[in-house]
Amino acid sequence: MAKCRDKRLYQELMGKTAYIFPGQGSQFPGMGKDLYDRCPGAKALMDKADAVLGFPLTQILFEGSSDDLLQTRVTQPAIFVVSVAAALELPRPDMVAGHSLGEFSALAASGALDFEDGLRLVAARAEAMQRCCESVSGTMAAVIALPDEEVERVCAGIPAVVPANYNCPGQVVISGETEAVKAACKALKEAGAKRALPLPVSGAFHSPLMEPARESLAEAIARTPFRSPFCPIYQNVTALPSSDPETIRGNLLRQLTAPVRWTQSVRQMRRDGAEVFLEVGPGEVLTKLVQRIQ
């Protein structure tokens, strides 16, 4: 996680810098405590989050258990707040991207979203996704060591399951109805996958089963002001740079039911000159994925 430190250290980095923001699953108890204690700007932001959300997020972060942080209504705002707080202490990047939920952090860090507006939007997204998970039986699974095209071919032959996250070469996450995902895992192993592992998630994220959540989120996105970011954001849906507020708004809504094209996004950022990738937020999941992609 980026910490509060001398900004000149980062300004000395050569070449274009891309900030990448993690998504759900990167959380851990105590995350953000170092920022809160050492950086006045981060402390003010986290305290503001408590007031906006109407519950003591910082207390849960610093004193809660892993189980407390597993609640979607807590997890998503928590990662967003810690990631944006970390970005406060860094100079402006040349480009940004975020994995799933992390795209909201990237938008706030690049000036496209006001912090409070972004936090309310993330909270609305979390609530909509939680309701959707409770009403539809869905799950996800990680497919290891099989070409993307083969994963797509197998999924195309099984109704109600789709590729959801293109994380890195040889790692694709599939999503869909629980029984369909089980059938797909069996077929993918028969097709040559080294592993097809069910994930401990509560729903079929980034699949058509999230359509009810997308409809709910549409209202929240429609009433949220968006601005042009100070640098391009590479969005999950297209893996291309966006700066137009209306394009960003539309892609953000599509993201709930469309795959996260992380491999393609990182490759496009590299083509556009990114030489340094800095993960801003909890964990190092994206850093490891970027290393595999490169």
Of the candidates 149, 159, 265, 263, which has an alpha carbon nearest to the alpha carbon of residue 204?
159
Nearest to 2 by CA among 19, 27, 26, 23: 19
CA separation for the pair 78, 94 (Å, rounded):
25
8 A C-beta contact, residue 165 and residue 204: no
Distance CA 44, CA 62 (A): 15
Residue of 26, 105, 110, 206 marked active site = 206
Among this protein's residues, is 100 annotated catalytic?
Answer: yes
Alpha carbon 109 to its chain centroid, in Å, reads 14
The two structure tokens encoding residue 76? 């998503």
Catalytic residue among 26, 83, 99, 100: 100
Structure tokens at 123: 């909270």
Active site residue 99: no
Estimate the crossing angle of helix 115-135 against helix 211-222, to 10 degrees.
160
* Alpha helices per DSSP H over the chain: 7-11, 33-38, 40-53, 57-63, 66-69, 72-88, 102-109, 115-135, 148-156, 178-190, 211-222, 245-254, 262-271, 285-293
In whole angstroms, give the CA distance from residue 266 to residue 25.
20
Cβ within 8 Å of residue 4, ≥6 positions away: 34, 35, 38, 39, 42, 89
Residues acting as catalytic residues: 100, 206
